[in-house]
């Protein structure tokens, strides 16, 4: 059954993480990061940080179900969006831990988030959602440093990611947590206004663009970044269970 509460979402993510550990599947890396952020959103709802807590829970569950559906369809060999196919295919490739995580974030934030927002508010005014939508940005920013610290435990050369990303603070994580959410809101506004074939066509265009962005994450064009990521990978922990356990501590 699809989750209907955030507690059920967290349980579903735990099952993916446990299965990934058992199978040595890097898909669990994104699932762990996503679980951490979802838990943070749940805590924010509990302390009434949002204008409309019940609506925010509905939104978060709808958002999560898009990822859970994509994961389940991938496992069953069913067709999925190109951006998600790229993210899941990377779990069968040799890439750095941060690339696995960013590919999941790229598909889920750049693509799924807009779908969840536009569908939740279909036939209702969209603008009232914007404050709480942007409030999540603040919540995610609070855990960027924590995530960097945790990634450094399993990827000792993780600092290279920022240095090679033009030396911008948290550059590689903020790629998806800040800019992508701004893009996603604009896409949500477009999708909210569309119906039928026009909606499907815009969704297809979005999937194409997000897939292209994911391609840059999976196969960086710059020589320095590409080789820097390879160097990072060479010093990373490889066992998925060990990596997730270190991230959890």
pLDDT at 166: 54
Domain boundaries, the chain: 6-248
Dihedral angle over CA of 219, 97, 38, 78, nearest 10: 60
Q: Are 186 and 192 in contact (CB under 8 A)?
A: no
| pTM for the whole structure | 0.91
DSSP secondary-structure letter at 165?
T
Q: Are 120 and 59 in contact (CB under 8 A)?
A: yes
Type and span of the H or E element at 19: helix 6-23
pLDDT at 153: 87
Dihedral angle over CA of 30, 33, 39, 42, nearest 10: -70
* pLDDT < 70 positions in the chain: 161-178
């Amino acid at each position: 059954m699809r989750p209907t509460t955030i507690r059920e979402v967290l349980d579903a993510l735990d099952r993916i993480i446990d299965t990934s550990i058992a199978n040595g599947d890097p898909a669990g890396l994104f699932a762990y990061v996503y679980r951490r952020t979802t838990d943070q959103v749940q805590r924010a709802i509990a302390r009434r940080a949002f204008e409309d807590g019940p609506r925010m829970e509905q939104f978060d569950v709808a958002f999560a179900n898009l990822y859970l559906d994509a994961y389940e369809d991938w496992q069953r060999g069913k067709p999925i969006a190109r951006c998600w196919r790229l993210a899941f295919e990377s779990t069968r490739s040799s890439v750095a831990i941060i690339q696995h995580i960013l590919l999941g974030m790229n598909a889920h934030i750049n693509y799924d988030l807009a779908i969840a927002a536009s569908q939740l508010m279909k036939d209702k005014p969209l603008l009232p959602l914007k404050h709480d939508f942007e409030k999540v940005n603040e919540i995610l920013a609070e855990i960027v440093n924590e995530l960097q610290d945790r990634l450094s435990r399993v990827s000792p050369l993780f600092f290279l990611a920022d240095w090679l990303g033009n030396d911008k603070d948290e550059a590689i994580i903020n790629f998806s947590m800040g800019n992508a959410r701004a893009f996603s809101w604009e896409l949500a506004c477009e999708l909210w206004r569309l119906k039928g074939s026009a909606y499907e066509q815009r969704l297809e265009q979005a999937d194409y663009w997000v897939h292209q962005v994911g391609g840059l994450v999976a196969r960086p064009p710059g020589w320095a970044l590409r080789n820097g990521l390879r160097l990072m990978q060479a010093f990373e922990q490889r066992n998925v269970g060990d990596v997730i356990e270190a991230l959890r501590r």
